[in-house]
Amino acid sequence: MVMQAEAADLLNEFFTERSPELREKLVLQSVPLVHYLLARMGITQERGSDYEDLAHQGLIGLIEAVDHFDPKFNTRFSTYASLRIRGKVLDYLRTSDWMPRTARKRTRMIRKSISALWSENSREPTEDEIAAHLGINVEDVQQGLSDSNRILVSLDMVMDVDQDGDSSLYERLGDEKQTDPSEQFEKESLMEEMAGAIQNLPEREKLVLSLYYNDNLTFKEIGKVLDITESRVCQLHARTILSLKAMMNNE
């Protein structure tokens, strides 16, 4: 609590004075947020130099957040900074084209397969069923799911399986200053539809989503809770999100 009070004091002091010294102190104090968000996005230090590049992009997003945050909008700085950091990392991944073409093709095939199997069976397909549908082995499916997660499949992303790209709800519906009533209605309808779709998921998949989105655990922490590997959590998360989107597209 003392640390939180000190952080709040620093924020208030900086946004009042805007001195270079306080700016630097605020940035340095907030660096752990960058690494926390990377972990939440399934990006670990096992990626070596890639992780360093992405952490650097996150740091740029953090600095931009410090420079552009306006307390008058009554938004928490950590929330604003998280969006800036995550957006910067996503932009870098989209423009750097870091995923090999074969891996990208495989993830697209798996997405379409999950959608097709949902249409046929009205339930989440198993990895064995996805493999049989595509004529590949289960290990390739699991690798494709891991790759899907690395291109940041998440609940706030709206996917069209016929397109290469994903777009965020923040990009489609968000406005930094004002919410359009029609857009707010669309967002609320999407959330309601998603909540209904989640109820049709198996219990383990619902638990993974709850631990990740409600309890804010990282994939590594969820792995410890479920006694499975971090990479397996990554695969489960990707398959669950793709299944949710397939379910919503088929309703």
Domain count along the chain:
2
Strand residues in the chain grouped as ranges (E): 157-159, 166-168
* Coil vs helix vs strand at 44: coil
Q: What is the dihedral of CA 224, 229, 230, 232, to 10 degrees?
A: -130
pLDDT of residue 94: 75
171 pLDDT higher than 70:
no
For residue range 216-232, what is the model confidence (pLDDT) as tens digits? Answer: 888 889 999 999 998 89
Same domain, 132 and 185: yes
Query: 80 is in which domain, residue-wise?
Result: 2-96
Same domain, 82 and 120: no
Tell me the Ramachandran region of residue 216: left when phi exceeds 0, alpha when psi lies from -120 to 50, beta otherwise.
left
89 pLDDT higher than 50:
yes
The position carrying tokens 């709206």 is 158
Binned at pLDDT 50, 70 and 90, residue 60 comes out as very high
What is the CATH number for 193? 1.20.140
Work out the average pLDDT over 76-81. 90
CB 118 within 8 A of CB 250: yes
Same domain, 230 and 140: yes
Of the three residues 50, 65, 96, the one that is the final residue of a domain is: 96
For residue range 38-57, what is the model confidence (pLDDT) as tens digits? Answer: 888 777 777 667 788 899 99
Same domain, 89 and 15: yes
**Contacts with 99 (C-beta within 8 Å, 6 or more apart), sequence order:** 107, 147, 150, 151
pLDDT of residue 51: 85
pTM flag (> 0.85)? no
26 pLDDT higher than 70:
yes
Query: In whole numbers, what is the pLDDT of the chain averaged over residues?
Result: 79
**Contacts with 170 (C-beta within 8 Å, 6 or more apart), sequence order:** 83, 87, 156
